[in-house]
Chains A and B, each alone.
Chain A
Amino acid sequence: MALFGGKTAGFREAKGDLRIVEVTKSFGDFTAVDDLSLVVPRGSFFALLGPSGCGKTTTLRMVAGLEEATHGRIFIGDTDLTGSRPYERPVNTVFQSYALFPHLTVRDNVAFGPKRRGLANATTLADEALDLVQLPHLADRKPAQLSGGQQQRVAVARALVNRPEVLLLDEPLGALDLKLRRQMQVELKRIQTEVGLTFIHVTHDQEEAMTMADTVAVMNHGRIEQMGAPEALYDLPLTAFVANFVGQSNLGMGRIIDSDGDHYVADVQGTRVSIPKARCQVSSGDVLFGVRPEKVKIAVSRAEAGRNDIPATVVDVSFTGVATQYLVRVPSGATWSVYEQNLDIDPIDLHPGDEAWLSWKPGHAFGVPVDESAIKVATDAPTTTPTVAVGPVTASSQGPMAGADPR
């Protein structure tokens, strides 16, 4: 036994911020993660959002040491973890596929980490962790005798019980029903703040990312498109991809034709609109203009001065209780959506086929560079564009974000 050292031989007690420095991962000639740099402050909750196959799991696996980066380095605090083995890292993973040990009971699964660390109270810790995920009654079962959601919670408990410096959660709540998911979100957030762990949380649920995370990063094609506080990310997308992926956006292709004080003036397919310079990522030429659906007002007649407006034809009206969602066709042919909160007693008298006016404060508009995905969004058919939400939208504090399908 001495040959293999003590139980925690090689374990590296690193503490501090997680720093991913210029990390690239290639599989053959395919680049899954492309020159990624990232600092996650110690004790913060970091959410990673992105479409399927964009490299989220690969990033986590490199942090865990399960995959070796082709280039770049990974640090926790000042400790360089690049090249060290997974068992040496103060990092635990909740695997996307759970990866529970099939031959061990639920309790032994959860106690596995503490036992390897040589902790005498491993079983007690395991039972506490199982309490936390509300599964104490299943401790003696084997994983095969659990439902998918129960297995997922065991996987969370098995990683969490170690209180690692960095906890990697790869879609850890995806198999849970809404109520349980909310409870688990609260639990995770509580533990994260209480113990001061760094969480990296991969999720397809934008609302989850927005409500739980201090910082959200949006990944696409192995790169981080944008990173920031949830509010900032939603309020001011920097790329067309983020504008579409995080929440919904009404978009239009245009050209910057003039500058007016702290605003640019753009011509969006015949309509003149202003974009604050601070909110516009391009200063001349082609621009993709955007405004969030809840920032747009719909009315039968033209709005007062000081707002930008555009005529439109109502395509669909859906009443969702708190709000009403209108789908309208704008002159460019694109479909926009508009959320009106139902504040007045009399509803706005608009029906499919009616002519209406859309208006918004110029300060809410944003402009992003035109790229491939922008062209696709601004010109494609209404049914496939993300600006069209099909069916009623769940009411929530996040407004248009709920029910949006990130895929």
Chain B
Amino acid sequence: MSALAHVAGGAGGGTDQAPTERGRSWLPYLLLLPGFLWLAIFFVFPMIQLFTVSLQSQFPGYPGYYYRDVNFHNYLDAFTQFAPHFGRSLLFAGLATFFAFCLAYPLAYAMAFKAGRWRNVMMILVIAPFFTSFILRTIAWRQILADEGPVASTLNALHLLPGGRITETWVAVVAGLTYNFLPFMVLPIYASLERADARVIEAGGDLYANGFTTFRTVTLPMSMPGVLAGTLLTFIPAAGDYVNADLLGSDRSTKMVGNVIESQFFKVPGGFPVAASLSFTLMALILVLVFVYIRRFGTEELL
């Protein structure tokens, strides 16, 4: 970012070019306008709306009826009552991000450096799942992991499954999350590895670093922007997800915040303010975590 600012400053500073630069200065704003309007209408307005809902109070004795208020108790209630769900959301999303990273990095690495003419085939295989519905694929997972399904019965036969089943456990939820967000991890890492100059990686070997050291000191740092983008693209939606917990988890022990928000909104009479304040709390939590994360691991390109 600093390099970018530097360049921009340099271009604007050219004395003889200054007038034309100034003449075109409206262009970036014009380009920003459509996206800006879109976000204003479909993001900012609903957010304001949601925020006012999150502060509403119920009419005593009339479940489902609210009045405009500034009731921060909603937040306190939401957080204390559903703290375990928040914890589970962050934990499951964190685990899914970790496993997705472990699966995605070798895959992206192989695609970028070893796949040769199979590279495009692998790329299609990574993207292909998007051609069908996310819900249907998750339901398919329920069948794969079902008690009589191949995975559970094999593990049971080998006495490797303590609880006797996979579905309705956190394992199934994390597996589903990992699976569903894997491409969001693979693609950015692949992009950053593919962009890396092969000569630079060779230079590591030329300068006495063996294969592993070259990977640790050259390849991995060079792909950090991709890793960072991939982890964010996985963690953020996974933390808010409720489909995997709904379809693969159990009613009690694996519910995530997303499930609570969903049921408060659609199933619990008078749950609107709680659902809204849960949404805001989740958003704030993720923002803080992401900020700390980027601060800690971020590269200049992202900050």
A interface vs B, CB < 8 Å? 4-5, 7-11, 64-66, 85-87, 91-93, 95, 97, 99-104, 112-113, 116-117, 142, 144-145, 158-159, 162
Contact = CB atoms under 8 A, between A and B. Distances in A.
B207 A158 contact: yes
A95 B199 contact: yes
B154 interface: no
B209 interface: yes
B200 A112 contact: no
A120 to B, nearest CB: 15
Contacts of B212: 4
A200 B6 CA distance: 38
Contact of B203 (A9, A85, A95, A162): A95
Nearest to B203: A99
B202 interface: yes
Nearest to A4: B212
A11 B208 contact: yes
Nearest to B209: A116
Interface string B48-62: 000000000000000
A145 B3 CA distance: 7
B218 interface: yes
Nearest to B200: A99
Nearest to A61: B202
Contact of B208 (A5, A97, A117): A117
Contacts of A87: 205-210, 214
Query: Dominant SS at the B interface?
Result: helix
A86 B201 CA distance: 12
Q: Please tell me the size bucket of the interface on B.
A: 20 to 34
Given A86-B206, A104-B221, A116-B207, 4 more contacts: A7-B213, A10-B210, A103-B222, A112-B207
A113 B213 contact: no
A65 B206 CA distance: 8
Contact of B3 (A103, A113, A144): A144
27 contacts: A4-B212, A4-B213, A7-B213, A8-B208, A9-B210, A64-B206, A65-B206, A66-B202, A66-B205, A85-B210, A85-B211, A86-B206, A87-B205, A87-B206, A91-B206, A92-B206, A100-B200, A101-B200, A101-B204, A101-B218, A112-B209, A116-B208, A117-B208, A142-B3, A144-B3, A145-B3, A145-B6
B207 A4 contact: no
Nearest to A67: B202
Contacts of B205: 65-66, 85-87
B280 to A, nearest CB: 37
A331 B301 CA distance: 67
Contacts of A159: 206-207
Query: Dominant SS at the A interface?
Result: loop
A116 B213 contact: yes
B197 interface: yes
B95 interface: no
B224 interface: yes
Contacts of B203: 93, 95, 99-101, 158
Contacts of B214: 87
Contacts, number: 80
B213 to A, nearest CB: 7
Interface of B: 3, 6, 197, 199-200, 202-214, 217-218, 221-222, 224, 299
B197 A97 contact: yes
Nearest to B222: A103
Contact of B224 (A86, A97, A103): A103
Nearest to A113: B207
Contacts of B299: 103
Contacts of B209: 87, 112, 116
B212 to A, nearest CB: 5
B3 A102 contact: no
B210 A99 contact: no
Nearest to B202: A66
Nearest to B197: A99
Nearest to A103: B221
A112 B213 CA distance: 11
Contacts of A5: 210
In the A-B complex, the 3 residue pairs with the closest CB atoms: A86-B205, A116-B208, A99-B199
Contacts of B207: 87, 92, 112-113, 116, 158-159, 162
A66 B203 CA distance: 9
A5 B208 CA distance: 13
Residue from A11, A99, A102 with most neighbouring chain B CB atoms (10 Å): A99
A100 B214 CA distance: 13
Contacts of A116: 207-209, 213
Contacts of B210: 4-5, 9-10, 85, 87
Nearest to A91: B206
Given A4-B213, A10-B210, A116-B209, A99 B221 contact: no
Contacts of B211: 85
B197 to A, nearest CB: 6
Contact of B200 (A8, A64, A102, A113): A102
A101 B204 CA distance: 9
A93 B199 CA distance: 11
Contacts of B213: 4, 7, 116
B206 A66 contact: yes
Contacts of A99: 197, 199-200, 202-203
Contacts of B6: 145
A97 B199 contact: yes
A113 B217 CA distance: 12
Nearest to B199: A99
